[in-house]
Amino acid sequence: MDISKIGVVGAGQMGNGIAHVMALAGYEVRLSDVSPEALDKAMTLIAANMDRQVSRGKIAQEDRDGALSRISSTLDIAEIGQTDLVIEAATEQETVKQKIFDSLAPHLLPHTILTSNTSSISITRLASRTDRPEKFLGFHFMNPVPVMQLVELIRGIATDQETYQACMKVVENLGKTAASAEDFPAFIVNRILVPMINEAVYTLYEGVGNVRSIDMAMKLGANHPMGPLELADFIGLDTCLAIMNVLHDGLADTKYRPCPLLTKYVEAGWLGRKTKRGFYDYRGEEPVPTR
């Protein structure tokens, strides 16, 4: 099928990045959120990020102008339903995602493909709540979307081949690479990455090393571009905890037990960069370790 109009639900970090790359690839994009402030912030951020790409010679000024003209924002979920492909990019809570797909149901075109940017939740279960499980796919972008080259495509048990191929073509048009994953908790990237972060938090919790030494060890000793605790702050500690809980509940293996210290930070509201405090304190000129 030919996809030209794309609806993105959720104007946060992932949603605005998805809208950004889709518009640059020539798609008409409708970006939706329940918050008008979030939409305004997203549109401003997309323009600023594209300006940065122009200044670095990554894209031409006319590409930037054309892409921005293809993005519109809306508070009306019905407008999102009138697209060829919907990408849900709301917070990593299954009840929130279910409500979004329920609200979309009366407004969808017969051919509309539904996808979720979830990083861990069952695609089969999300799809089963809709009227088109065969046209439902996991469409998992990496953060930051304009920079990262990978997209995970996750088929639910009912997803048909036509839907998968249509989304694969979109990934190719974006100039990105698709990795096909089976529908098991956290898929490929987060199944491997987030338990590593959780183990780094245990290493901190048990006093094996402090924040700075753990991050330095993995950057210089394993050649990671970012230490695991620094990366956790970038992802969001609430998201890391949510993924660990999905792994622990879904696979029933004690090796996926979330570290109590990770839970404590989330309970404190210290979620990382987005709240200015996590394993580092970002309120000053330079990040300072909190332990």
Does 128 qualify as catalytic in the annotation? no
Tell me if 285 is assigned to a ligand binding site: no
DSSP string covering 227-266: -HHHHHHHH-HHHHHHHHHHHHHHH--GGGPPPHHHHHHH
Indicate which residue of 140, 198, 230, 248 is catalytic: 140
Tell me if 143 is assigned to a ligand binding site: yes
Tell me if 97 is assigned to a ligand binding site: yes
Tell me if 61 is assigned to a ligand binding site: no
Does 28 qualify as catalytic in the annotation? no
| Long-range Cβ contacts of 99-108 (<8 Å, 24+ apart) | 100/9, 101/126, 101/129, 101/130, 102/129, 103/77, 104/9, 104/77, 104/80, 105/130, 105/131, 106/78, 106/81, 107/77, 107/78, 107/80, 107/81, 107/82, 108/81, 108/132
Tell me if 58 is assigned to a ligand binding site: no
Tell me if 255 is assigned to a ligand binding site: no
Indicate which residue of 88, 190, 230, 248 is catalytic: 190
Indicate which residue of 119, 120, 122, 198 is catalytic: 119
Tell me if 12 is assigned to a ligand binding site: yes
Tell me if 119 is assigned to a ligand binding site: yes
Phi, psi of 118, deg, nearest 5: -50, 145
Tell me if 165 is assigned to a ligand binding site: no
Phi, psi of 134, deg, nearest 5: -75, -20
Does 190 qualify as catalytic in the annotation? yes
Does 62 qualify as catalytic in the annotation? no
Catalytic residues: 119, 140, 152, 190
Bind-site residues for NAD(+) = 10-15, 33, 92, 97, 119, 143, 274
Bind-site residues = 10-15, 33, 92, 97, 119, 143, 274
